[in-house]
């Protein structure tokens, strides 16, 4: 079958997945993976990678990570750090340690345990926000706490991806010099991102570089509004790709650079009239979201789903590992995030528990790690790949279920002792 026919079949599957996601209120990612799995097992898609589809999928994940960064508000991110740092830190550390311990106990491999902990760290904030919105809770303080801490987790996880993947992929044990070199490159990359955000992209510069007025003419605003903004989408996607390529040159995944590119772009750069900067920004963001989440990005997840070949003996063999990992992460994630929200963020207990439930999901970044570790670098085994995929599936299912269950206690319709007290 021709590559374009494969693409047509994948897009049919993506459309079906979108319908199922709306009906079930689960993340579409789960259904994209399921579609890929079904198609390859029924011989509708090839088991060996099609070069065109693989390239299309790589573009898709770069667009997805750029869009996720582009959706975040840097000002809100910085403002929320003070209250959410504890949720982000402890809410990431606990599932990391839980996954690392369980996987190391079963497989005895430090590298595989390291990658598993990394994959189970970042929260699927999009799934949580959709679930909260379906319950009418998207504007609650708990939702803000989840959003801010999830952004912190994602940024930290991306930094760890940049540092740990090259270490785990090494054929020999890394030396102190090797680790220092990788960490140094990561620090240099993120320092360059800060430089761009503060002193290169803005058209109005303050602080130590205030005298460099060249940015009045050559800042990001002039770049994206060239020719009345007709090429704004091309400009920002080019910026994302260049940042991705820079990350790749430094030995990191291009998705790391694409996410940071989206994070440092501001709405004010798209101001064409001087009176309604958000209107043009929202239009551009809508286009980016449509490209990333509707028709190019999903190809990445369908392609990843084709790696799940039905092997019932294998599936049955990993059920104990899946059960232990799901239970361990459920307990670690809910307890750590809830306790941190209560005692470092000073949220009331109902909000704290809601934050704990809302941080259970695992989506885009986890699957990026799966793809790098299993498909590209061969760091993890097939058995571990199945274990992590099934674990992510059940954790994602737990998000809408737990949020719907806790809502009556959250809004005060039901009581569960001190856990329902807003004080």
Which residues neighbour 133 within 8 Å (Cβ) at sequence distance 6 or greater? none
Cα separation, 90 vs 340, in Å, equals 7
Give the model's pLDDT for residue 265. Answer: 87
Is-contact 291 63, C-beta < 8 A?
Answer: yes
Helix axes 349-358, 382-410, angle to 10 degrees: 150
Residue 76 CB coordination number (10 Å)? 13
Give the model's pLDDT for residue 172. Answer: 53
Is-contact 120 362, C-beta < 8 A?
Answer: yes
Residue with structure tokens 């940024």?
Answer: 155
Helices (H), 265-348: 277-290, 297-305, 312-317, 319-343
Read off the tokens for 58. Answer: 């790589």
Backbone conformation region of residue 378, classed left if phi is above 0, alpha if psi is from -120 to 50, else beta: left
Is 377 in a helix, a strand, or coil? coil
Residue 288 CB coordination number (10 Å)? 20
Averaged pLDDT, 399-417:
84
pLDDT in tens, 93-131: 999 999 999 999 999 998 899 999 988 987 776 667 667
Cα separation, 300 vs 159, in Å, equals 22
Give pairs for 41-44: CB < 8 Å, separation 24+.
41/308, 41/309, 41/310, 44/9
> What string of H, E and C letters represents the secondary structure of 7-62?
HHHHHHHHHHHHHHHHHHCCCHHHHHHHHHHHHHHCCCCCCCCCHHHHHHHHHHHH
Is-contact 130 147, C-beta < 8 A?
Answer: no
Q: Nearest 5 degrees, angle CA 258-CA 261-CA 262?
A: 95
Which residues neighbour 88 within 8 Å (Cβ) at sequence distance 6 or greater? 148, 149, 150, 152, 153, 156
The more confident residue out of 22 and 357 is 357
Instruction: End-to-end CA distance of the chain: give it in Å, rounded.
Output: 63
Closest CA to 249 of 162, 157, 367, 172: 162
Residue 169 CB coordination number (10 Å)? 17
* Least confident range of 2-16, 56-70, 191-205, 285-299: 191-205
Q: Is the pLDDT of residue 255 over 90?
A: no
The more confident residue out of 36 and 198 is 36
What are the C-alpha distances in Å from 32 to residues 10, 296, 322, 364, 406?
Answer: 9, 12, 21, 12, 28
Which residues neighbour 187 within 8 Å (Cβ) at sequence distance 6 or greater? none
Q: With bands split at pLDDT 50, 70 and 90, how would you rate the model's confidence at 203?
A: low
Q: With bands split at pLDDT 50, 70 and 90, how would you rate the model's confidence at 213?
A: very low
Q: What is the mean pLDDT of the chain?
A: 82
Domain boundaries, the chain: 3-410
Q: With bands split at pLDDT 50, 70 and 90, how would you rate the model's confidence at 383?
A: very high
CA dihedral 344, 88, 389, 64 (to 10 degrees): 150
Read off the tokens for 37. Answer: 């799995």
Give the model's pLDDT for residue 79. Answer: 64
Backbone conformation region of residue 108, classed left if phi is above 0, alpha if psi is from -120 to 50, else beta: left
% pLDDT > 90, the chain: 26
CATH class of the region 3-410: mainly alpha
């Amino acid at each position: 079958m021709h590559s374009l026919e494969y693409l047509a079949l994948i897009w049919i599957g993506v459309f079906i997945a979108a319908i199922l996601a709306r009906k079930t209120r689960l993340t579409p990612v789960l259904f994209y993976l399921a579609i890929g799995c079904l198609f390859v097992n029924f011989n509708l898609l090839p088991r060996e990678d099609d070069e065109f589809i693989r390239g299309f999928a790589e573009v898709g994940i770069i667009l997805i990570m750029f869009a996720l960064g582009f959706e975040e508000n840097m000002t809100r991110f910085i403002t929320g750090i003070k209250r959410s740092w504890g949720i982000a830190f402890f809410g990431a550390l606990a599932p990391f340690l839980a996954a690392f311990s369980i996987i190391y106990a079963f497989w005895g491999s430090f590298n595989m345990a390291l990658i598993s902990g990394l994959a189970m760290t970042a929260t699927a904030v999009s799934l949580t926000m959709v679930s909260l919105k379906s319950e009418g809770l998207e504007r609650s303080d708990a939702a803000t706490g989840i959003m801010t801490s999830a952004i912190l987790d994602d940024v930290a996880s991306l930094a760890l991806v940049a540092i740990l993947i090259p270490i785990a992929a090494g054929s020999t044990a890394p030396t102190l010099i090797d680790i220092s070199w990788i960490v140094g490159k990561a620090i240099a990359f993120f320092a360059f991102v800060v430089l761009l955000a503060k002193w290169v992209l803005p058209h109005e510069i303050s602080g130590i570089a205030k005298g460099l007025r060249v940015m009045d003419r050559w800042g990001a605003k002039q770049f994206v509004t060239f020719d009345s903004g007709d090429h704004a989408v091309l400009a920002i996607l080019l910026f994302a790709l260049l940042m991705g390529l820079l990350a790749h040159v430094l030995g990191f995944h291009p998705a790391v650079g694409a996410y940071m590119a989206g994070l440092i772009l501001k709405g004010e750069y798209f101001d064409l009239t001087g009176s309604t900067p958000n209107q043009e920004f929202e239009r551009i963001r809508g286009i980016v979201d449509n490209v990333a989440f509707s028709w190019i990005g999903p190809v990445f997840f369908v392609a990843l789903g084709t790696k799940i070949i039905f092997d019932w003996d294998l599936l049955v063999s990993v059920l104990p590992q899946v059960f232990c990992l799901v239970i361990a992460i459920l307990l670690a994630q809910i307890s750590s995030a809830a306790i941190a929200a209560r005692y470092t963020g000073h949220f009331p207990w109902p909000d704290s528990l809601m934050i704990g439930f809302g941080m259970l999901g695992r989506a885009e970044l986890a699957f990026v790690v799966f793809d790098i570790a299993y498909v590209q670098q061969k760091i993890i085994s097939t058995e571990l790949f199945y274990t992590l995929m099934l674990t992510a599936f059940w954790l994602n299912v737990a998000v809408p279920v737990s949020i719907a269950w806790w809502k009556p206690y959250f809004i005060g319709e039901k009581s569960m002792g001190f856990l329902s007290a807003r004080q």
